[in-house]
Chain A
Amino acid sequence: MSLLEVENLTAFYGDFQALYGISLQVAEGEAVALIGANGAGKSTFLRTLTGLLPIGGGQARFAGAALTGTPAHKILASGIALVPEGRRLFPSLSVEENLLLGAYAKRPGPWNLERVYQLFPALRAHANRPGTALSGGQQQMVAIGRALMSNPLLLMCDELSLGLAPIVIRDIYAALPQIRAEGIAVLIVEQDTGQALAVADRVYCFQEGKISLEGRPADLTRAQISLAYFGV
């Protein structure tokens, strides 16, 4: 049984339909990438999974339990953590306090403050500075660390590379194997297709609220991906 099972999911912003019957799965320990153009529905999809947007129709099950109707804080407690698009660190909290807040739900597991600092040593020096006073790349590290502190079973990352220099993006993605080493499944939303294909076991492509392509990176051609991405 998959860790995350989504069947025919629809979602609406008011009267506007954003998702038209999304079906996908993520197995335990797997790395799945969601690619697609701006506005294709990838971030919307993550928001419905985390409970920030109500599920309009269809089914979503995580570790066997239904996600529909579950409030966001309970979803976190059940093991799904999101690294939000744009980092969304708390400016009133220091770096360390941001990380500590991630452990609010007190889920047991291997991740704690010390391990996060080992994963991202650059953060140790800035532990007491306000969360938003760091560079973009460091903020991304804090956001990832904050999510890890909740010891999730599924880590979802929304646009990790947004606004970051290529070398910084590389450093961040270099941390992924250590994260996966404990068996955490990872769901990555990326506009940087190359990066997504490099790390993922499987890929889904979103286009205008629907899934236009799925498969393993090795099995997909550039042409197929281009077609699925742009629809032309």
Chain B
Amino acid sequence: MSDWINTILQGLLTGGLYALFAAGLSLSFGVMRIINIAHGDFAILAGYAAIAIAGTFGLNPVEAMCAVVPAMALLGYALQRGILNLTLGDDVLRPLLVTFGFSIVIQNLLLEGFSADSRSLDSGTFGTASLQLGGNLAVGLLPLTVMAAAVAILAFMQWLFSTTLLGRAFRAAADDPETVQLMGVNTRHIYAMAMAIAMAMVAVAGVFLALQTTVSPTDGPEHLLYAFEAVIIGGLGSLWGTLIGGIVLGVSQAIGAKLNPGWGILAGHLCFLAVLIIRPSGLFPTARNR
């Protein structure tokens, strides 16, 4: 029994990582209506960057993250302002294909630079430390930290959107990109800001991934799918729904894997499809179907 509870706990905490991945996707989709196909690949890129920087300069993971996150934010700003802004409009095809192109380029650049072996960031003793919860239950400190980070980041996003002028501009731009310009909002700039923030979150997710497990150049797409599924399960437009979506996904994967090692990821996908069939607008649909 406690075996199962442990499994569910693991799944729950994995859900935190998925929610972290989903947060960035949710932001760029919410503001600019773009699904960044390279979303997962940017996370992997951040993971590799952290590994490379930590290795070259002898930094610990926290320092590596502090170096990588701002760099990725800058990259996000530049890519949005320089390239992705040019693809915006009613045609969904263009941003999709361009970000697909990014995905291919990043994966293969990583392959060229780091070879196909998977790597990880050394988490030292922290990585294996765990919290005993009594009985046979234990949770790893690292997964717990990731979950805490996810909650913190989602809370930050909530604050950003509901109280700040920039958040208001984001929401207005998502409603009406033309009229928001009449308010004096430079949409080219705020879209780039949204992407920068999304990339920063993706970078955090990527570094945590490298810490918790491993990264290899082609791991990106699977994490894009998890992020996407977390968002859809939770309900488009709902921030805390994304967290729940991530948790639901993580738990289904954990339960699936426990039943049969080959079924873990499959169980997650099937759970996603089930939600799509039974409750297409997600667990916490917002009133407006975005």
Contact = CB atoms under 8 A, between A and B. Distances in A.
Do A and B have CB atoms closer than 8 angstroms in the complex?
yes
Interface of A: 50-52, 71-73, 76-77, 81-82, 84, 88, 90-93, 97, 100-102, 104-105, 146, 150
Given A52-B178, A100-B165, A93 B172 contact: yes
Contacts of A104: 165, 169, 183-185
8 contacts: A52-B178, A82-B182, A93-B175, A101-B165, A101-B180, A104-B184, A105-B183, A146-B183
Contacts of B165: 100-101, 104
Contacts of B179: 84, 88, 90
B165, B175, B182, B184: most-surrounded residue (chain A CB, <10 A)? B182
Nearest to B182: A82
B168 interface: yes
B213 interface: no
B182 A72 contact: yes
Nearest to B171: A92
B181 A90 contact: no
Interface of B is mostly: helix
A52 B171 contact: no
A90 B180 contact: yes
A76 B174 contact: no
A89 B231 CA distance: 27
B183 A92 contact: no
Interface residues of B, number: 19
Interface string B168-212: 110110111011111111110000000000000000000000000
B176 A50 contact: no
Nearest to B287: A130
Contact of A92 (B172, B178, B181): B172
Contact of B182 (A52, A91, A97): A52
B184 A105 contact: yes
Contacts of B168: 93, 97, 100-101
Given A51-B181, A90-B172, A102-B183, 13 more contacts: A71-B181, A76-B182, A77-B184, A90-B171, A90-B175, A90-B176, A90-B180, A92-B288, A97-B168, A100-B165, A101-B172, A101-B180, A105-B183
Contact of A101 (B174, B178, B183, B288): B183
Contacts of A92: 171-172, 174-175, 288
B169, B172, B174: most-surrounded residue (chain A CB, <10 A)? B172
Nearest to A52: B178
Contacts of A50: 182
Given A88-B176, A100-B165, A93 B171 contact: yes
Contacts of B174: 92
B181 A72 contact: yes
B183 A76 contact: yes
Nearest to A76: B184
A161 to B, nearest CB: 20
A52 B175 CA distance: 17
A84 B180 CA distance: 11
A51 to B, nearest CB: 7
A91 B186 CA distance: 20
B171 A84 contact: no
B289 to A, nearest CB: 12
Nearest to B175: A90
Interface in B242-284: none
A218 B168 CA distance: 45
A146 B172 CA distance: 13
A90 B173 CA distance: 9
A171 B278 CA distance: 50
Contacts of A88: 176, 179
Nearest to A72: B181
* 3 closest cross-chain pairs (CB), A and B: A105-B184, A76-B184, A72-B181
B88 to A, nearest CB: 15
A84 B172 contact: no
B125 to A, nearest CB: 46
Contacts of A81: 182
B209 to A, nearest CB: 32
B181 A73 contact: yes
A129 to B, nearest CB: 13
Contacts of B176: 88, 90
Contacts of A101: 165, 168-169, 172, 180, 183, 185
Nearest to B166: A104
A72 B165 CA distance: 19
A72 B189 CA distance: 13
